Amino acid sequence: MSILEVEHIRKTFDHTQVLQDISFSLEQGQVVSIIGSSGSGKTTLLRCLNFLERPDGGVIRIKGDTLFDAEHISTQSEQEIRRKRLHFGLVFQSFNLFPQYTALQNVMLAKQLLAKDEPNYKVRKKRFSKKLKTRHSSC
Ligand SMILES: Nc1ncnc2c1ncn2[C@@H]1O[C@H](COP(=O)(O)OP(=O)(O)OP(=O)(O)O)[C@@H](O)[C@H]1O
Ligand SMILES: [Mg+2]
């Protein structure tokens, strides 16, 4: 099962349609790059996935669960959206990075915070950190 499914996402600012019918899926462990010229909507797409922007249309699913469906208002309450935002980690560009951390620490941070919710985190902490560091150092 795909870890992330995005179907027919649309987003318009004023009269500019920035995202038009965006669909893709991601498998666990898959690494995907979004490439496009400045202003083509890369950040807007990521902000929609993290609910920092609300898509005008489309569906977002995580492991088969519908996190957002523009057709279903029940998926869009503030409380629901705040809870669902915890599924995503985002590393921002340049000035939004944490200056006290190295580049590697900035990239690893979201995954480290999410891991704290996993069972036996305290016992497995060292092994987890080592694995994470190895994985991100090679990217
Ligand atoms: N909150 C907003 N209100 C109005 N327009 C916006 C808003 N956010 C983004 N836009 C517009 O949406 C378009 C896409 O912007 P976006 O930042 O997603 O592009 P990008 O591909 O990430 O660009 P870059 O490569 O420069 O980071 C741009 O025309 C931008 O001006
Ligand atoms: Mg951008």
Q: Are strands 16-26 and 65-69 parallel, antiparallel or unpaired?
A: unpaired
Distance CA 125, CA 99 (A): 24
- Residue 39 Cβ inside 6 Å of ligand 1? The answer reads yes
**How far, in Å, is the centroid of ligand 2 from the Cα of 93?**
8
Q: Is the CB of 12 under 6 A from ligand 1?
A: no
pLDDT digits (tens, 9 = 90+) for 109-130: 888 887 887 788 788 888 878 8
**pTM of this prediction exceeds 0.75:** yes
Using alpha carbons, select from 122, 119, 113 the residue that is nearest to residue 85.
Answer: 113
